[in-house]
């Protein structure tokens, strides 16, 4: 409960207040929805909610216009004209579901991999993933591959959890906060609340970002780095810290793999792997007895440097020795990276010395005894109050995995992980890689009318876990977990349509998408993707992707390309579950989950997608959704949330379990669980005891708590992996030294990307184009007031932005002869766009930028034909191709990080040429047919009148 006194802000405006969870961005704040005469009257923040504590942003309060948007779909639709025409006929739900079941059931029997199910910014992935697993297709993922999988994968593989949904800065105690590449859409309100706390305490905030908008504009120091070089900057900071011996040696020995011995046997299959004992435990060199012992041996004093001969004659060195040799190299000296990063040597040096000063001279202590996993009792929690946060700005590069790893290594080197004042894990994290599944989708994992033998997404421990056939070809349509992208923990949604169209690795029969605007702003090469969706097979006349089912609440551009449309409700009209099994909303000191529930009933013939999925699963008789007689187990999603158990006693929600609702984490299902959530403000929160709040990776009290809550069945402590043996295994395969061997065509790329220590390489598009012909970077930023294309049709939010311009640095404007209001061609290796520009000096001098996802296609989203969004607004996507420029041998790699398959949106290189003034941005697309409810959208929206149907 909030301790602050409450002021009555205004007279009651409603008959009733219903508490639920916002869905106007990914942050999932608690909201109070005021209802008057059965309609939504007003939305405000829930002051008791653990995420936002009453704070509400512009998007959140404009949810009312999202709910009443003219763009809402109003009934199931069956396509009657060609794809893209927008010609549909409304059909009944019975007809729509029968058709979907016919299509899906036939594919499931014949060849389940020909069914591809991908979801966009879906917040119910524990259900959608389970559905796909029980269906038995290997082809499922959500949107993480084109968002921030590099952050997630690097965080889990290094620390057991990374930024955002895995952890958060210790806003109340941190004294120096360093943020890399973050716009304002993820974790939006908590960051704003956090920054305001820093400001009021006088803590220092440094933002590293090519563009000085939003958070960067209120930072104490803005480092306007050149895109794609953050990793190099961080490595240079590490160089300085090592040189100055400003590292936390005790923490390295206790909590990281710095002392683990790495075999030095060049040219062999074990070179670079950890030396292990007979039980597989990694070895360290014990300095007193001068022999190798298992890591974690009580009383051992491991070496961090040296070169040692093991009993079997092999030679090994502590991984820290390799790390130190790597980063002490002069190529990481500030002077030597200044040119590439665009950051002056003295700025890098200053950043390193400030990090060291705060970490070691301003250390803090909380006098709470605690016990580590070795049974050692500690009198207090020592904190190094330097915290970091990063997001898509560093993630969406083809070197983003290694950049994120570098930041985590930096945190571990100074001992600033899950201690007071630093980055802190949010339960159920940290979770070591070993506690995650390996991916499933090999040929032997699925078959006709059978569930997949395990979850789709996970973490390969080495090349032996890749989802490839005996011929080395990918078994997934997006080529996730293949040699193309071995650790693609979130799949590669951005490659699905292109691969399915090319029949590479095979054709599919049915594509089922949810909330993913793949015909517009969620695809690279938008015009190309539209053509792929429209293309027909010359021989049969059928579409190359024969059938597409799409579910969305709104008439997005993608709707026009679907054959069958299943209209979703708005977020105020359905049940939803923000689950610890999916994407948690915990805080460092508390375990939290939440629900949405229908605070108003739909007034259209629409159904919540999750309930529709459960209905489909019942009709398809998918195991786990029907009983042994084939009778559906669940009435709808609400019923599933309450009664589904993933493991005995573990269900989608952790709160109010057990027959009496008094169990937490583990417990029998409780028929009143949703009622209890609603009474509690639509969320549940369980506080960690103080003894369990820090050093969760090695804290006995936390690990016991995690087992009690059901996160794990046995304690899962984490040793931070500064040196990644998993990466080294892939590297050995790429070097032709370890089975299975990587195909020749992939070796160079994998060897470069799979460095076991964070390494920097030039982003692949930049390395593949003529840098003189395309001398600049072009990136997007997410507006604070909009969340993807969703918000940019919202009547209230459109009063803030209705069009975007390209912001061009003053120096480039002067070179090209441009001024604010001029028009210019922006040209990449793939295409050109004509846009209006504005001069800006709040940006890196080699970088131009624009707001993302404001440009719309005419006819979509219920907007008028002359809407600025579709006339003057534009997408950068037209310049970005899903494939890199051809190499010398004609091969074209995916425009992704070679480790994770993360879409490399921000690697784009461009040039700029002055153009004739215009009134319409180019390319100008023909109007897409106005499918569904958008046909009758009013020309003007007034609160409480026309929109209030
Ligand atoms: S930050 Fe996101 S979830 Fe929170 S109120 Fe704003 S839009 Fe809603």
C-alpha–C-alpha distance, residues 848 and 774, integer Å: 12
Q: Is 450 helix (H, G, I), strand (E, B) or coil?
A: coil
Q: How far is the CA of 570 from the centre of ligand 1 (A)?
A: 15
Sign of CA dihedral 620, 623, 625, 631: positive
Average of per-residue pLDDT across 536-543: 95
| Partners of 513 in beta bridges | 118, 550
> Does ligand 1 lie within 6 Å of residue 28's CB atom?
yes
| d(CA 844, ligand 1 centre) in Å | 29
Average pLDDT in the 558-565 region?
A: 97
* Statement: residue 896 has pLDDT above 70: yes
In terms of DSSP bridges, do strands 204-208 and 364-366 run parallel, antiparallel, or are they unpaired?
unpaired
The torsion of the CA quartet 297, 302, 304, 309, rounded to 10 degrees, works out to: -100
Closest atom of ligand 1 to 59 CA is 7
Regarding the beta carbon of 784 and ligand 1, being less than 6 Å apart is answered no
| CA 27 to ligand 1: nearest atom | 3
Q: How confident is the model at residue 8 (pLDDT cuts 50, 70, 90)?
A: low
Closest CA to 324 of 805, 722, 792: 722
Q: Span 685-691, mean pLDDT?
A: 97
Cα-to-centroid distance, 206 and ligand 1 (Å): 24
Q: How far apart are CA 93 and CA 568, in angstroms?
A: 12
Q: In whole angstroms, give the CA distance from residue 819 to residue 847.
A: 16
Quote the longest CA-to-CA distance of the chain.
83
pLDDT at 937: 59
Half-sphere exposure of 517 (CA within 13 A, CB side): 20
Q: Answer whether 192 contacts ligand 1 (Cβ < 6 A).
A: no
Q: Is 20 in the pocket of ligand 1 (CB under 6 A)?
A: no
pLDDT tens for 90-138 read: 999 999 999 999 999 999 999 999 999 999 888 888 899 999 999 999 9
Distance CA 4, CA 193 (A): 15
Q: Residue 25 C-alpha to ligand 1 middle, in angstroms?
A: 5
Distance 521 CA to ligand 1 centre (A): 21
Residues 425/418, Cβ–Cβ less than 8 Å: yes
To test the ligand 1 pocket, which listed residue (29, 571, 786) has its Cβ within 8 A of the most ligand atoms?
Answer: 29
Question: Please, what's the b/e burial string for 662-674 (b: 16 or more CB within 10 A of its CB; e: otherwise)?
Answer: ebbbbbebbeebb
Distance CA 131, CA 139 (A): 12
Indicate whether 943 pLDDT > 70.
no
585 pocket-lining for ligand 1 (C-beta < 6 Å) = no
Residue 270 C-alpha to ligand 1 middle, in angstroms? Answer: 49
Other C-beta atoms closer than 10 Å to the C-beta of 531 total 12
- Kindly report the number of other CB atoms within 10 A of residue 403's CB atom: 30
Give the number of other Cβ atoms within 10 Å of residue 350's Cβ: 16
Average pLDDT for 32-50 = 94
State the distance from the centre of ligand 1 to the C-alpha of 123, rounded, in angstroms: 14
Mutate to test the pocket of ligand 1, among 19, 27, 62, 786 (most ligand atoms within 8 A of CB): 27
Q: For residue 742, what pLDDT is reported? A: 97
Best mutation site among 22, 164, 571, 796 for ligand 1 pocket (most ligand atoms within 8 Å of CB): 22
Rounded to whole angstroms, the Cα distance separating 685 from 496 reads 38
Residue to probe by mutation, ligand 1, list 19, 51, 56, 683, most atoms within 8 Å of CB: 56
68 Cα: distance to centroid of ligand 1 (angstroms): 18
- Ligand 1 atom closest to the Cα of residue 31 is 5
Please give the distance, rounded to the nearest whole angstrom, from the Cα atom of residue 782 to the centre of ligand 1.
Answer: 14
Q: Is 59 in the pocket of ligand 1 (CB under 6 A)?
A: yes
Rounded mean pLDDT of 630-652?
A: 96
Residue nearest to atom 2 of ligand 1 (CA): 25
Say what the pLDDT of residue 789 is.
Answer: 77
Query: Above 60 in pLDDT, residue 653?
Result: yes
| Per-residue confidence (pLDDT) for residue 583, from 0 to 100 | 84
**Phi, psi for residue 781 in degrees, rounded to 5:** -125, 145
DSSP 285-308: EETTTTEEEETT-TT--B-SS--E
pLDDT in tens, 212-256: 999 999 999 999 999 999 999 999 999 999 999 999 999 999 999
Q: Which range, of 122-126, 448-452, 914-918, averages the lowest pLDDT?
A: 122-126
Distance (Å) from CA 9 to ligand 1 centroid: 20
pLDDT score at 946: 39
CA distance 893 to 902: 13
Inform me whether the pLDDT recorded for 933 exceeds 90.
no
Rounded CA gap, 847 and 228, in Å? 11
pLDDT band for position 941 (cuts 50, 70, 90): low
Helix or strand holding residue 243 (H, E): helix 230-243
Question: With contact defined as beta carbons under 8 Å apart, do 634 and 625 qualify?
Answer: yes
Report whether residue 62 contacts ligand 1, using a CB cutoff of 6 Å: no
**Ligand 1 atom, smallest distance to 57 CA:** 6
188 lines ligand 1 (CB under 6 A): yes
The finding on whether 885 has its CB within 6 A of some atom of ligand 1 is: no
Per-residue pLDDT band at 947 (split at 50, 70, 90): very low
Which pLDDT does position 246 carry in this prediction? 98
Positive or negative torsion for Cα 448, 453, 457, 459: negative
Ligand 1 centroid from CA 145, angstroms: 23
Q: Is 27 in the pocket of ligand 1 (CB under 6 A)?
A: yes
Q: Quote the ligand 1 centre to 40 CA distance (angstroms).
A: 17
| Among the listed residues 23, 33, 63, the one whose alpha carbon sits nearest the alpha carbon of residue 678 | 33
Residue 513, CA atoms < 13 Å, CB-side half-sphere: 28
For residues 8 and 474, which has the higher predicted lDDT (pLDDT)?
A: 474
Q: What is the pLDDT of residue 517?
A: 93
Tell the residue nearest (CA) to atom 4 of ligand 1: 29
Q: Is residue 873 within 8 Å of 921, Cβ to Cβ?
A: yes
Nearest Cα residue to atom 5 of ligand 1: 60
- Please give the distance, rounded to the nearest whole angstrom, from the Cα atom of residue 52 to the centre of ligand 1: 8
CA of 600 to the centre of ligand 1 (A): 19
Integer Cα distance of 899 and 894 in angstroms: 12
| Contact assessment for residue 802 and residue 873, using Cβ atoms and an 8 Å cutoff | yes
Per-residue confidence band for 84, with pLDDT thresholds at 50, 70 and 90: very high
Q: Is the separation of the CB atoms in 517 and 557 below 8 Å? A: yes
In 3D space, the residue among 487, 484, 510, 483 whose CA is nearest the CA of residue 495 turns out to be 484
Burial (Cβ within 10 Å: 0-12, 13-18, ≥19) of residue 590: middle
Average the pLDDT over 664-690 and give the result.
Answer: 97
In whole angstroms, how far apart are CA 348 and each of 329, 411, 569, 698, 799?
16, 16, 50, 32, 40
* Mean pLDDT over the full length of the chain: 94
Q: What is the pLDDT of residue 892?
A: 86
User: How many Å lie between the centroid of ligand 1 and the Cα of residue 66?
Assistant: 13
Counting residues of the chain whose pLDDT is more than 70, the rounded percentage is 97
Answer yes or no: is the C-beta of 812 below 6 A from any ligand 1 atom: no
Question: What letter does residue 90 receive in the DSSP assignment?
Answer: E
The pLDDT of residue 183: 77
C-alpha of residue 338 to centroid of ligand 1, in Å: 38
Which of 153, 72, 102, 10 shows the shortest CA–CA distance to 897? 153
> What is the predicted pLDDT for the residue at 3?
47
Q: Is 22 in the pocket of ligand 1 (CB under 6 A)?
A: yes
Dihedrals phi, psi of 615, to nearest 5 degrees: -65, -45
Q: Residue 7 pLDDT > 80, yes or no?
A: no
**Between 12 and 450, the higher pLDDT residue:** 450
Q: How far apart are CA 414 and CA 317, in angstroms?
A: 22
Q: How confident is the model at residue 949 (pLDDT cuts 50, 70, 90)?
A: very low
Q: Which atom of ligand 1 is nearest to the CA of 189?
A: 1
What's the mean pLDDT in 462-472? 96
Which atom of ligand 1 sits closest to the CA of residue 58? 6
Number of the ligand 1 atom closest to the C-alpha atom of 51: 4
Distance 786 CA to ligand 1 centre (A): 10
pLDDT attached to residue 853: 84
Among 591, 124, 582, 198, residue whose Cα is nearest residue 389:
198
Tell me the pLDDT tens digit for each residue of 398-424: 999 999 999 999 999 999 999 999 999
- Residue 601: pLDDT above 90? yes
Strands 176-180 and 204-208 come out as parallel
Query: CB of 24 closer than 6 A to ligand 1?
Result: yes
Mapping DSSP onto H, E and C, the string for 647-714 reads ECCECCCCCCECCCCCECCCCCCCCCHHHHHHHCCCEEEEECCHHHCCCHHHEHHHHHHHHHHCCCCC
* Residues 21/28, Cβ–Cβ less than 8 Å: yes
| % of the chain at pLDDT higher than 90 | 88
The residue nearest atom 8 of ligand 1, judged by CA position, is 60
Q: Going by C-beta distance under 8 Å and a sequence separation of 6 or more, which residues neighbour residue 551?
A: 513, 514, 515, 565, 566, 567, 568, 609, 612
Q: How confident is the model at residue 935 (pLDDT cuts 50, 70, 90)?
A: very low
The answer, yes or no, to whether any atom of ligand 1 lies below 6 A from the CB of 189, is yes
Asked whether residue 782 carries a pLDDT value surpassing 90, the answer given is: no
Judge whether 344 and 359 are in contact, CB under 8 Å: no
Nearest to 26 by CA among 3, 55, 60, 54: 60
| CA trace torsion 816, 781, 879, 911 (10° rounding) | 20
Measured CA to CA, the distance from residue 672 to residue 660 in angstroms comes to: 9
- Alpha carbon distance 875, 857 (integer Å): 10
Specify the length of the chain in residues: 949
Quote the ligand 1 centre to 81 CA distance (angstroms): 38
Asked if residue 123 has its Cβ within 6 Å of ligand 1, the reply is: no
| ω into 505 cis (within 30 of 0) | yes
| Distance, CA of 669 to CA of 656 (rounded, Å) | 9
Burial 886-895 (b: 16+ CB within 10 A, else e): eeeeeeebbb
Mark 120-129 as b/e (b = at least 16 C-beta within 10 Å).
bbbbbbbbbb
Rounded CA-CA distance 23/43 in Å is: 12
DSSP secondary structure letter of residue 214: H
Give 27 Cα–ligand 1 centroid separation in angstroms: 6
The whole-angstrom separation of Cα 190 and Cα 49 is 11
**The ligand 1 atom nearest the CA atom of 25:** 2
Residues whose CB is less than 8 angstroms from the CB of residue 574 and which lie 6 or more positions away in sequence, other chains included: 568, 596, 597, 598, 608, 609, 610, 611, 637
How is residue 468 annotated by DSSP? B
Top-confidence residue, 677 or 298: 677
Task: Find the 572 Cα to ligand 1 centroid distance in Å.
Answer: 14
């Amino acid at each position: 409960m909030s301790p602050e006194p409450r002021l009555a802000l205004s007279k009651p405006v409603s008959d009733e207040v219903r508490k639920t969870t916002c869905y106007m961005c990914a942050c999932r704040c608690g909201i109070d929805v005021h209802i008057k005469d059965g309609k939504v009257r007003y939305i405000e923040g829930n002051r008791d909610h653990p995420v936002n504590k009453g704070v509400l942003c512009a998007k959140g309060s404009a949810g009312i216009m999202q709910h009443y948007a003219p763009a809402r779909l109003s009934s199931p639709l069956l396509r009657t004209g060609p794809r893209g025409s927008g010609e549909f006929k409304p059909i009944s739900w019975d007809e729509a579901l029968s058709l979907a079941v016919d299509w899906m059931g036939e594919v499931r029997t014949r060849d389940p991999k020909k069914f591809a199910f991908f979801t966009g910014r879906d917040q119910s992935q524990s259900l959608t993933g389970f559905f796909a697993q029980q269906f038995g297709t290997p082809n499922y993922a959500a949107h993480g591959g084109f968002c921030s999988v590099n952050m997630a994968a690097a965080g889990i593989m290094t620390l057991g959890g990374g930024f955002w949904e895995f952890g958060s800065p210790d806003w109340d105690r941190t004294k120096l906060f360093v943020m890399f590449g973050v716009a304002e859409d993820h974790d939006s309100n908590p960051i704003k609340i956090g920054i305001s706390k820093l400001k009021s305490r006088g803590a220092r905030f440094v933002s590293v970002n090519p563009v000085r908008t939003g958070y960067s504009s209120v930072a104490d120091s803005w480092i306007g780095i050149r895109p794609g070089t953050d990793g190099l900057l961080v490595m240079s900071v590490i160089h300085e810290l090592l040189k100055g011996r400003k590292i936390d040696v005790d923490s390295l020995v206790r909590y990281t793999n710095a002392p683990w011995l790495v075999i030095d046997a060049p040219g062999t299959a074990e070179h670079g792997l950890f030396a292990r004992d007979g039980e597989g435990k990694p070895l360290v060199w014990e300095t007193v007895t001068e022999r190798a012992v298992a890591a974690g041996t009580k009383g051992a004093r491991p070496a961090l440097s040296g070169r040692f001969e093991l009993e079997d004659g092999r030679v090994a060195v502590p991984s820290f020795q390799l790390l130190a040799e790597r980063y002490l190299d002069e190529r990481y000296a500030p002077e030597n990276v200044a040119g590439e990063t665009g950051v002056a040597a003295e700025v890098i040096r200053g950043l390193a010395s400030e990090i060291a000063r705060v970490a070691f001279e301003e250390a803090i202590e909380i006098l709470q005894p605690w016990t580590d996993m070795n049974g050692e009792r500690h009198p207090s929690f020592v904190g190094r109050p330097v915290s970091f946060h990063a997001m898509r700005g560093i993630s969406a590069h083809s070197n983003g995995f290694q950049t994120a790893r570098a930041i985590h290594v930096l945190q571990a080197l100074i001992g600033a992980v899950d201690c007071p004042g630093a980055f802190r894990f949010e339960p159920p994290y940290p979770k070591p890689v070993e506690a995650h599944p390996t991916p499933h989708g090999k040929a032997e994992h699925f078959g006709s009318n059978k569930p997949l033998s395990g979850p789709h997404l996970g973490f390969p421990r080495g090349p032996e876990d890749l989802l490839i056939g005996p011929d080395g070809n990918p078994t997934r349509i997006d080529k996730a977990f293949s040699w193309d992208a071995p650790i693609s923990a979130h799949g590669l949604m951005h490659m699905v349509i292109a691969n399915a169209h090319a029949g590479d690795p095979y054709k599919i029969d049915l594509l089922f998408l949810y909330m993913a605007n793949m015909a517009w702003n969620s695809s690279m090469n938008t015009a190309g993707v539209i053509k792929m969706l429209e293309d027909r097979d010359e021989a049969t006349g059928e579409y190359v992707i024969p059938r597409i089912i799409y579910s969305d609440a709104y008439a997005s551009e993608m709707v026009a390309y679907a054959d069958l449309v299943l209209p979703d409700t708005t977020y105020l009209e359905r049940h939803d579950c923000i689950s610890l099994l999916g994407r948690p909303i915990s805080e460092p000191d508390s375990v939290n989950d939440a629900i949405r529930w229908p605070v108003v009933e739909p007034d259209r013939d629409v159904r919540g997608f999750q309930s529709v999925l459960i209905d489909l699963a019942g009709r398809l008789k998918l195991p786990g959704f029907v009983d042994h007689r084939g009778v559906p187990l669940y009435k709808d999603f609400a019923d599933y949330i309450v009664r589904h158990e993933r493991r005995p006693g573990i269900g989608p929600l952790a709160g109010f379990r057990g027959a009496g609702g008094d169990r937490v984490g583990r417990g029998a299902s409780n028929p009143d669980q949703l009622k209890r959530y609603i009474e509690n403000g639509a969320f549940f929160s369980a506080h960690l005891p103080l003894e369990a709040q820090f050093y969760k990776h090695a804290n006995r009290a936390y690990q016991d708590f995690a087992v009690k809550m059901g996160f794990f069945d046995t304690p899962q402590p984490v040793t931070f992996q500064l040196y990644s043996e998993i990466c080294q295994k892939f590297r050995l395969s790429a070097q032709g030294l370890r089975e299975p061997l990587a195909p020749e065509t992939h070796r160079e790329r994998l060897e470069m990307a799979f460095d076991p220590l964070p390494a920097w390489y030039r982003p692949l598009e930049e390395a593949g184009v003529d840098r003189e012909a395309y001398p600049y970077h072009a990136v997007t930023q997410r507006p604070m007031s909009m969340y993807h294309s969703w918000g940019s049709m919202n009547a209230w939010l459109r009063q803030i932005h209705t069009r975007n311009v390209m912001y061009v640095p003053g120096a480039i404007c002067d070179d090209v002869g441009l001024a604010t209001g001029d028009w210019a061609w922006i040209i990449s290796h793939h295409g050109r766009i004509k846009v209006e520009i504005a001069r800006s000096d709040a940006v890196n001098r080699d970088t131009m930028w624009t707001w993302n996802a404001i440009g719309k296609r005419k006819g979509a989203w219920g907007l008028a034909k002359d809407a600025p969004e579709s006339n003057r607004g534009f997408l950068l996507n037209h310049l970005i191709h899903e494939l890199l420029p051809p190499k010398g041998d004609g091969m074209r790699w995916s425009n992704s990080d070679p480790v994770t398959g993360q879409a490399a949106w921000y690697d784009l290189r461009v040039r700029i040429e002055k153009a004739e003034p215009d009134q319409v941005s180019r390319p100008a697309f023909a109007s897409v047919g106005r499918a569904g409810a958008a046909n009758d959208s009013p020309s003007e929206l007034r609160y409480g009148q026309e929109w209030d149907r």
